[in-house]
Structure 1
Amino acid sequence: MREIILASHGALASGMADTAQMIIGDQPGLRVLSLQPGSHPDALKRQIEYWLAETSADEVLILTDLWGGSVNNALLGLTQDPRVHIIAGMNLNLVLQLCLSPEPLADVIPAALKEARQGMIYGNAVLACPQAEDELF
């Protein structure tokens, strides 16, 4: 069983989860943690530690908003648990792929990251030169 935690500064994680579930339906294994003003990122880490102690999930994926940000930095130590995988720089394409994939995380993460990166497109360049669209990726 896989659990996915979206963790961010502010409401980004909540909005990402809402949007993903609007597109692919309810995801019971999807959780949200948001660092609010005045809160400390270590509080998020403690929440996940307590939850990890109680969950029966074989794989736990934590998607954070920003590599080097306080949320990501606070949670990186959780990778000491062999079930935990952390990816920074979440985007909707990545969230959708990882929610829908039944394959083990170690097998699916590299391809999901590649596809998520390829999903970022500078629209102006595509419109200015549609025949060279393949060169923009």
Structure 2
Amino acid sequence: MEQQTPVILVISHGFFCRELVNSVKMIFGDAPGLLSLPLEEGMDPEVYEEQLNQLIDSYDGNVFVCVDIMGGTPFKSLAKAARTRTLYGVAGVSMPMLIEVLSNRDELSKRELAAQAAAACSEMVMDLTEYMEKMHKLGTGE
């Protein structure tokens, strides 16, 4: 049986997830099945949890979830949702990570996608100090 392309759901505190999705679309282009669900300031955590469950169920659980940080309300809501269904995802979502997920969601299982996204993201974080110092020297002729 062929795997159906999962919906990518980005969840976060505030509108970070919505704006991250918008920014990724500027680079990646049209990305069907890329959604966001922000936890709005002052929102009741139970209301957010219910919205998350409804969204996951509307895609028969075929979602891959990218969450901003571990431990917060979006993460806790996702953890509760995972008690009754098999879910996959990553925490610490960033633009490079989300592009990696979108680029590979058709070829990899959701389990493989989570491992690939986490590994790729760790390679994309770097200290630019040395590079910037080199650029400064080039610009100043030192």
Q: Is the 8 A contact 1:8 1:33 kept in 2?
A: yes
CA displacement at 1:124 relative to structure 2? 1.0
Structure 1: tracts of 5 or more residues without a match = 130-137
The reply on whether 1:48 has 2:83 as its aligned counterpart is no
Of 98, 110, 113 in structure 2, the residue corresponding to residue 105 of structure 1 is: 110
Residue 21 (structure 1) aligns with: 25
Distance 1:41 1:27, change over 3 A: farther
Which residue, out of 37, 59, 80, partners 1:77?
80
Residue type at the aligned position of 1:29 = G
Task: State the alpha-carbon separation in 2 of the partners of residues 70 and 48 from structure 1.
Answer: 11
Partners of 2:88 and 2:114 within 8 A in 1: no
TM-score with structure 1 setting the length: 0.82
Report the counterpart of residue 91 of structure 1 in structure 2.
94
TM-score by length of 2: 0.80
User: CA 1:35 to 1:63, structure 2 compared with 1: closer, same or farther past 3 Å?
Assistant: same
Q: Which runs of 4+ in 1 moved over 6 A?
A: none
Per-residue Cα deviation, 1:83-115 (whole angstroms, up to 9, x for no partner): x21321111111001112122111232122111
Ranges in structure 2 where 5+ consecutive residues have no aligned partner: 135-142
Tell whether the 8 Å contact from 1:21 to 1:27 is kept in structure 2 after alignment. Answer: yes
Counterparts of 1:26 and 1:109 in 2: how far apart (Å)? Answer: 22
Is the CA contact 2:52–2:77 (under 8 Å) kept in the aligned structure 1? no
1:3 aligns with 2:7: yes
- Percent identity over the alignment is 19
Aligned to 1:12: 16
Deviations 1:55-84 (A, max 9, x none): 246x311111111112211221222312x2
Q: Distance in 2 between matches of 1:51 and 1:15?
A: 19
> Paired residue for 2:138?
none
Larger radius of gyration: 2
- Structure 1 residue matching 2:82: 3-state secondary structure: helix
Q: Secondary structure at the match of 1:27?
A: coil
- Does the residue aligned with 2:55 lie in a helix, a strand or coil? helix
SS at the partner of 2:64? strand
The letter of the residue matching 1:104 is S
